[in-house]
Structure 1
């Protein structure tokens, strides 16, 4: 059954602390033998910490990924969660090697593959039935897809201005669909970057968008998993600072421009469709 902890937005410390407090109550009531945590968000670390402090074993799904960039909050969460977990379920062989180099015993490491890819393949046929193309008046490979949410890109005006200037130039050649994270949307307004978008769609008017032949950017509300997956599947290319989308585009064989200087998923570069472009307008435009 689902348990809602009632923890919303806040600083990293606030979120981590509140999840620990509320999740500890669940653990004391349910008395589980094992807690399974997934990914690299604040709740991943918080739940693992709460468990091991009560002498409950923890298992980390998506263990061993490393960007080697400790300015990323997710990197701190990954490192600490892996150090305190009893079972480390890795998505790739390079993740195994990362853990071994950090002194994790071999008997704790289990290469299981990528559950996000499993989910994608399981839901691909359902995503194909999505009506998002009709709603946005799009055609296969007739648009680029953009996501943007990392603090280093969104919270600094210079970085966000650089990225949006590149996106604006790209949009003169191909429409750009941009499902915007709420914090990103807030920063676009705060930095007066909304004029870079020719159309800002709210949930009630999204179907009224008419793509233009020149300089077309559509900022939409966050989309459902299946709607977004369909957009990923048929995009000409994807621009993102998300880790998971790097993997999804590789599996879908869709070109991906990652708006970061590092990645915890190097296999998407060595064996996939991913290119690191940072937030340099010149490099973004060249690779697009």
Structure 2
């Protein structure tokens, strides 16, 4: 595989970090910066999100520079194929090739995306494997993320859990205690690191929005977009929400979601404004000032808990039928609403 990366060979432990989507960049931002301080570090990006607004802008938002002094990963690995099987095959094959060549002394992945399946390559090559966000379960086996979580948790040498719920779950499955640690979520560090930039964002002025006079929407998960039944249920509920509250609903729309809407011919209420995906600082400024955030994002539970902890609670409404973050239901301003009109209203 062609790339220009070489280890510094300065005596520090060689650590490779693998990621492939916007949420992974966000959650790993503070971790990557700290790893570059203490380790000979290589960041690999399996390019699942190829749109600039879903990847490139986030390296810039977090000022994450590679070993060449540019914003971005050290190695960019194209993996997207014509179908899911080809994409997953590319992730496995190309990660195996890269890990075989560079032979890091540790490999770190976070979460449950398809990029995390690169962990299988590390395991087969006997490279110590570390999994952040381990032990999360929504108990819905129809979700692809649930399958990925189970695979990576079981094969990892060290599982780093966000919560006692997750740690206890892994302990109950029989994983050795010495392989499982409760570390908390890295999102608090990420949000603290960027809080000043978030507060300085002028996104409300640019979009012509006023505090507490709009609803922020994000809907992109496979179970909400690719399922015809769930798609129609959710967006019918969104239209009902716009009618009930009679205010703008700003939809930060993933390209795949936009394509699905256009292909379906579904007519959104005129008050629902479809917008390109927003950068981290702009999106969080919008979250801090919205009447409510209606979202299926995996980072929403952590963000709601963080804002509550700094005395700025947000109204976080999760448009899913299950969550892998039960602790957020207890600790933050976070509710599991579902995807029907009756549930959402």
- TM-score normalised by the chain length of structure 1: 0.88
Aligned to 1:89: 160
How far the C-alpha of 1:192 sits from its partner, in A, is 1.0
Gaps of 5+ in 1: 199-215
How far the C-alpha of 1:266 sits from its partner, in A, is 0.5
Q: Mapping of 1:124-203 within 5 angstroms?
A: 124-172=195-243, 173=245, 174-193=247-266, 195-198=267-270
How far the C-alpha of 1:244 sits from its partner, in A, is 1.4
Q: Mapping of 1:1-288 within 5 angstroms?
A: 1=67, 2-8=74-80, 10-45=82-117, 47-172=118-243, 173=245, 174-193=247-266, 195-198=267-270, 216-252=271-307, 253-285=313-345
How far the C-alpha of 1:15 sits from its partner, in A, is 2.0
Contact 2:99 2:122 in 1 (8 A): yes
| Aligned-residue RMSD, C-alpha | 1.4
Contact 1:62 1:89 in 2 (8 A): yes
Once the two structures are superposed, residues 165-206 of structure 1 have per-residue CA deviations (whole angstroms, 9 ceiling, x without a partner) of 22222223221110111111111111111x3142xxxxxxxx
Once the two structures are superposed, residues 45-65 of structure 1 have per-residue CA deviations (whole angstroms, 9 ceiling, x without a partner) of 2x2101010011100011111
Contact 1:232 1:249 in 2 (8 A): no
- Cα 1:70–1:18, aligned 2, differ >3 Å: closer, same or farther? same
How far the C-alpha of 1:154 sits from its partner, in A, is 1.0
Aligned to 2:58: none
How far the C-alpha of 1:114 sits from its partner, in A, is 0.3
How far the C-alpha of 1:19 sits from its partner, in A, is 1.2
How far the C-alpha of 1:9 sits from its partner, in A, is 5.3
- Cα 1:59–1:270, aligned 2, differ >3 Å: closer, same or farther? same
SS at match of 1:171: helix
Aligned length: 266
Q: After the TM superposition, list the runs of 4 or more consecutive aligned residues in structure 1 that deviate by more than 6 angstroms.
A: none
CA distance in 1, matches of 2:304, 2:82: 31
- TM-score normalised by the chain length of structure 2: 0.74
